[in-house]
């Protein structure tokens, strides 16, 4: 996933559009309760890219979450579009909002300790009970 990719998409009503020319950093499906609540779904599948490669047009509103994550959505139709982490300079783009939603597949599942009981994950991808473990640094 180290080549630059043009990613385009938008909201349900068409008022918001975006383009990213950045290199995708990762693709994940998050099953945490915050992502379930914000999307109204069992999980949030997104592709993460550098924020500086994004161009966004339209009435995007941002919700400042206590976790340091900013969640972007269309203020007209309410479509979930983004999960930005300004401190890291990254933005997650909701896979369902892509013009080509099959262009990316999640590489792993995170926060599976919160997944819906009825959801069986048997796709062979790595699963983490919580977030991705931080690398251990030598002292």
Model pLDDT, residue 109: 96
Regions of the chain short of the pLDDT cut 70 = 1-4, 135-139
Distance in angstroms (rounded) separating the CA atoms of residues 10 and 132: 28
Model pLDDT, residue 98: 98
Model pLDDT, residue 102: 93
Q: Does the CA dihedral 44-47-52-54 come out positive or negative?
A: negative
**Coil/strand/helix, residue 71:** strand
Q: What is the pLDDT of residues 25-34, one digit of tens each?
A: 999 999 999 9
Model pLDDT, residue 67: 80
φ, ψ of residue 30 to 5 degrees: the values are -105, 130
Query: 7-127, which class in CATH?
Result: mainly beta
Cut 0.75: pTM above it: yes
Q: What is the pLDDT of residues 2-40, one digit of tens each?
A: 556 799 999 999 999 999 998 999 999 999 999 999 999
**Coil/strand/helix, residue 61:** strand
Q: Does the CA dihedral 67-6-74-100 come out positive or negative?
A: negative
Distance in angstroms (rounded) separating the CA atoms of residues 44 and 30: 5
State the CB neighbour count (10 A cutoff) for residue 137.
5
Model pLDDT, residue 108: 95
Model pLDDT, residue 136: 61
């Amino acid at each position: 996933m180290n080549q630059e990719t043009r990613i385009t998409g938008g909201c349900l009503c068409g008022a918001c559009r975006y383009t990213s020319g950045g290199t995708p950093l990762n693709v994940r499906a998050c099953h945490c309760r915050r992502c379930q609540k914000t999307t109204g779904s069992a999980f949030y599948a997104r592709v993460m890219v550098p924020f500086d490669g994004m161009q966004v047009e339209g009435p995007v509103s941002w919700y400042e979450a206590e976790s340091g994550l900013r969640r972007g959505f269309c203020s007209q139709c309410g479509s979930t579009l983004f999960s930005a982490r300004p401190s890291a300079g990254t933005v997650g783009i909701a896979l369902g909002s892509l013009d080509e939603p099959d262009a990316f597949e999640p590489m792993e599942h995170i926060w599976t300790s919160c997944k819906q009981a009825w959801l069986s994950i048997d796709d062979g991808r790595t699963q983490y009970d919580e977030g991705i473990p931080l690398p251990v640094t030598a002292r």
